[in-house]
Structure formats: C-alpha cells, structure tokens
Structure 1
C-alpha cells in the first residue's frame, strides 16, 4: 500500500511539473513573439540617428545610401529627367512591405522621414559633391615671352615667316620630370609657344617617335613614323590643340628623319623658316641628325634649327648641341618643366599687331561659356539625383497613405516635405554652380591681368628701343 501511495505521489508531481512547464511556455510565447517582432522592426530605424534631414553639402556627404538603392547605378541616377521621374515598378513592390514595417515602428512623422531616407536615399551624393568641389578651370596658360631674359649683347632677330615645331614623341617621353609625364609637359609648352609665334608666323607641327613601340620588332615602322599633324598655315588654337592631343609617346627617335622632313617642307616655302625641336634624347634610328641639319640650312641660308633639350643626359645633349650648331641655331637646356617653359622664348620683341591682339591670350567669352557649362555638370547631377530621390519618397508616401498606414495629416506633411527637399536640392545645385563660376572667373581675371602687365612691359621696351612697329 505504501508503494502504491508513493507511486501516485510521484506521478502527481511529474504531471504537475509538466503542466507548469506548458503553462510557462504558453505564458512566455507572447513575450518571445514580441521580442522577435521588435528585433525585426529595428532593422529599418536602427541607424537613423545618424541621418540629418537638412539639405547641405555636409549632410549629404555623410548621408548613408538607402538600403533599397544598392542596384541604382551612377549613370541611371543622373540620367536627364524629361518631365517627372518614374520610380521602377520593381522598387515599388520591394519597398511596400518595408514601408508597412516603418509605419508600425515609427513613433512620429520625423521618424518616418528618416526611415524613408534610410530606405531610398541616393547612394551617389558623396561622389557627386566631391567631383563638384574638385572643379578647376582648364584655361590655356598664356605664353608671355620675356626678351629681357636673353643674354646681354645678343643680336635682336626678326620673326621667321614660317615656323616648324618638331616634337619628340618617343617612348622616353613617357618618363617623368618633377612628378609629371614629360610628354604632357612638352605638349602644354608647345601649345602655349605656338599661340605666340602664330601671331607673326605660319605654323606647322611635325611629330616623330609616335608610331609602333620601343620594341626591336617595331623599329622600322617607328623610325619611318614622321608625320605633319598640323599643316603649315595660319595658327588656329582649336585645331592646333586637337593636333597636339592626337598622338601619344610610343617608339624610337628618328631625329634625323624629322629634320629631313622639315627640310623637304621648307624647300617649297618663300622666305625664312625656323625649326624648333623639343626633344629629350639623341637619335636612335641610325640616322645622322647633324648632317640633316647642315643640309636644311644649305638649301636656304636664312633657315635655322633651334633645339630645346628637355631633361637630357650628357651624351644626348652633346648630339643635340651639334645639331643646333650645324643648323645655325641655338641649343637651350631645360632640366625641369619651368625651365622648358622659360627657354621657349622669342628672341625678338612682339610687334604692335601682336600686342594689339594679345587680349586673345586671355580666356574669351566663348571659352568662359564652355567653362561655365563644365562647372555646372556635377551640381546639375546633384539636382537630378535629388529630384529622383524626392519622387521615390513621394511615391512611398502615396503607398503608405493609400494603405491607411499613415494619417491624412501625416500624408500631407510628408508630401510637403518631399517637395520642399527637392527645392532645397535646387538651391544647393545653384550654390555649387555659383562657386564653380566664381572659380573660373577668378582664374580668368588673373590671366587677363598677367597679359595686361606683359603688354605694358613690351610696349615700354619697344618705346625704349624706338621700335614703333
């Protein structure tokens, strides 16, 4: 009997424990479900404390990309808007359940605004603003030669009727000088130089070393690659720049072949021709540039060959000096970008006509218009991305309102905020654009001032020498 009683007592205790466990589990279920629900809701607003609703450079630079915007490319975000941006239907479907979660989680309208940005903010604001702030106008540096830098006692010379610029584009010009590619430095200097000599001489540009490669297999094609890329004629800034930018450094150095090309060209010209060679090395195509230079001036005693040795070694310099001497010209040594700029100098005073047209060396109204357009590119992209974002959020407000997830008052306030944000984006676009315009105008004014100072200095020198022309 005792054993039976103990068995009943044990069974009762076991049943009681099981019953208590079930009741405890049942009681705990709503709590766990609520916790899971809260954890799920926290996904949207968890990082919104860092979101600033203000529209400014600072706020947009730090604004996290919308979590639903990962597939939005830069190109699509800045694509021109014809009338009203249309939100991708797939994005509308994807955002709908997120918007329901947001409205359940958000405690007020401000939280909804931040939640919308956390979902739909453009991922490209930082990139666009940084590009806009990096804007620098690309005005050509005016070439303002200073005859007072000539050595004392040098005979004043008259400008040649034709000028041929021979530019070395061999592979060695891909090396750097003072942290910049030598070819880029030389191209910039030649552009400025041609603008100045083009005021009083017809100009031609011949390039060599730009064919093939420095490999032995390409030696023949490279050494025969001497090309007139700007035909002899009146200087045209736009066309000359296109010619200078039409080739790259690649191969060997057919210096003799280039001089022979200049000799052939000059044989058909009336009057004198001055050859200007910009090179960083000696002949590598088995030619004889010294002999070629002698032959060039033999055909016309008024022709000359001037050479600028840019960052050359001793052996190359010896050859280039000999070429200049044989061509009855001069050799200039340029070891740095500044040297190159300074050594490409006129050895005669500019004419009265040159000075009268010197104002063209400052940016023209057309160049300013071009720069204004360039300076507007990224600010306008910002405005476009902002408009797209605003309309995504307006579509989101429509969904939440139609579903009854927000009140009519909230719907009205959020729509007004969307339009207001788009307007603020336009204001920021104008601010960034005006900043870039001011940058362009400041640099243009500085260039114009330098040109004006140079003109007055040249006029004073001409008056001092009794040169009225």
Structure 2
C-alpha cells in the first residue's frame, strides 16, 4: 500500500491580493471659491466611502484567508488532510450554529466580479472549518498484521508468540480526562470500564500491568513539577487478579499534567530483563492529549521499541484534537505500533477487544493450535466494509456542512444565489473525489486481504504439512 503511506504536506497556500488602482486626479479649480467647494465635497465623499467598506478586497481577506490548508485533489491528500475545528459536527444544530455563525459573519462580502481565485479562497476557508478526519487505510492494514499475531513465519519477530506474554496499560489520568463524554460519563470512567472488560477474561498465564500518570497535583503551573514526576505503576507486572486490579484502577481520578514521555521511560525501566527472545511484550497507551511536561515521547518510544525488550507500543487517542493526534500517531509509528483514534466508550472497547483476541490466540498457541486463516479473511472483509461505511458517513457529513456553510453565507448577504451555486459546484467535485477515493481504497484493501491471507495459509500448510482446502 505504498500509495497510502502517510505523506505530511507542509506547504501552505499563500494568498495574496491586489488592490484596485486609485481614480485619476481632479481637475484644478478656476477660482479659490470653487476650489474650496470641491475640496469640501471631496472630503464628504471620502467620509461616505469610509463608512461603506469595499467588499471582498484583498485587505479584508488578508487575515482570514491567508495560510489556509490546501483543498485535497487526490486520495492521499484526502487521507492526510487536517480535520477542521468543526469536523464531523452537525453545524446546522442550534448548539453548534451559534459559534459557527460568528465565523461566517467575519467573512467579507464576495465582490460582484469575483475571479476564480476569489471563489477558491472562499471555498478554502469554508473547507478549513469543516474538513473531516478520514481514516487512514494503513492503520487498518497495521491492525490486520496485529490480528495475525502469533504465526511463526511473520516477518516481524515481535509478532511471533513467545513463552511469556506481558501486557502493560499506560493510562492518562490528566485533568482533561475528566471531560464528560458519551452517556454523561467522563472519559476516565469510560476508559476504566473498557480496561476492566478487556482483562476480565485474560489467560491465567499472562502477566498484566497498569501504569498511570497525571493522577496527582492539578493542572496549575505551580503543580507542574509535582504532577509531571508523578508516574506510578499501580499494578505490578504479574498474573491478573480481578479484585486487586480493580482496586488499583479505581483508586485515582484525573487531575494533573500529561507526561507521556516520562510514562514511557518509566515503563521501559520496569521491562528491563524481559528479553523479546522469550517474551511477547505489548504496551497500550491511552491518552486524550499531547505531551505537556516538556518531554519527547516520540524519541522515547523509538528507543524503547529498539531495545532488547522490543515491545509493540499501540496508542489509542481518546477524543484528541489534530495536534495531539499527530503526536500520538508519531509515537506509535516510531515504535512500529498501531495508532487508533476513538471518540466514545464503545470504540475504545472495540480496540481492547482486538488485544483480548490476541491474548486468546496466545493461549491457544500454548496448546499448539493454529489460527484459522480463512476466518481471518472473513474478519478482514467485515473490517473493510466498516472502514468504507465510516468513510462514506464522514464524506456525507462533510458535504452537508459545506452546503450549510454556503447557505449561511448567502443568508448573511455575503454571497449571491449565483455565487452560492458556483461554490456548491466545488463542493460537488470534492464529493466525487471522496467517492472515487473510497472505491479505490476498498478495491486495494480487498486485493491485499486476499494476497496476505493466501500467503499466510501457504506458510501454514508448508510448515505443518496440512491439507487446508483452497
């Protein structure tokens, strides 16, 4: 999937305008009296002109329309676009509309003789507010690799089961995790529920650990040093004991800062001696924000993954903004792990369920059982369907938000009906691109699924001399 490798575009569209030429000079007056009258009239006209600003001038647009991200023109740019501040929100609802209308009122009037460049700037601004966060197909492919965990012929030795299985959950307990999310519960409450459900059926032989950060102090500057240094392994690495683990999990609440790098450093120190030759080591980092304690979590994750412990570091971003998503994604990528964004408790449970299935596979592996490759193909097919459905849902919501934005600008007198139609043509072109892109991605994912699973089945047949039906 080379064409879907993450490509971060760093050039921003610099928008410049040109001001109109000033009118020619006035004719000289023939007498001092007429000269004085003309001067007074000129001043009055100038005052009236100042009261009524020119619409759509480059000066009006300089701040609002400058340095906006490019509107995507191909699949890769769609996948890698930065989500807008109102991404996937229903901007027509009363709650969101109030804040959104303020931004629309700031938009200058589109001049009557607007150029294609002027239209592009207007559309670019609208798009920068409502651009959606399309899922990256490479994240799904990484999850497939993880789902095949345990096969001895996997190219990555970390994905081969070893005699011992060690899993640590690193949980963000910073103040922002107290934010109320789905169903009136806080993000911390939803995270704890998902973790408990995940470990409820953990194999007796597996070792688990729970590390927490941000659970001491407050978010104030005065508490920063104390909070950033308060990283604690509240459940030592050992077989899972439900009562003891739940007690450790329930003893803290979100309150302080976010030392992601420090938490990974602490985890690295505690995993010393658990060599990857005899241990399958898996880290799950759950965070809702960016590093705030001046550390470099990307560098630490890369160092941790490159050690003899060689853990797989999977990162779950819980309701993260664009900046945090970018950093957490880099943390996972630097450690060759998986990054996933979740926005509610059910999605979080789904990600932990994937890890639970791997644990169950490890337990079967301990009894010399082989994973059924055909079942994996079916599972992957359903995930492709889910990926496609999510993409189409986001594309529809993005299109509706753009249409509503254009209608709002027209109602506010910023654009005419004809100008609105021109902007909606651009919206339709973008919708066509999103539809073509998901068709392309879906076909490629299906092709890859067939090839990877066929290769896996062939490896199993050759190694164990089985006669699996083709």
TM-score bracket, normalised by the shorter chain, equals 0.3 to 0.5
Larger gyration radius, structure 1 or structure 2: 1
TM-score computed with the length of structure 2 as normaliser: 0.42
Higher helix residue share? 1
Q: TM-score if structure 1 supplies the norm length?
A: 0.42
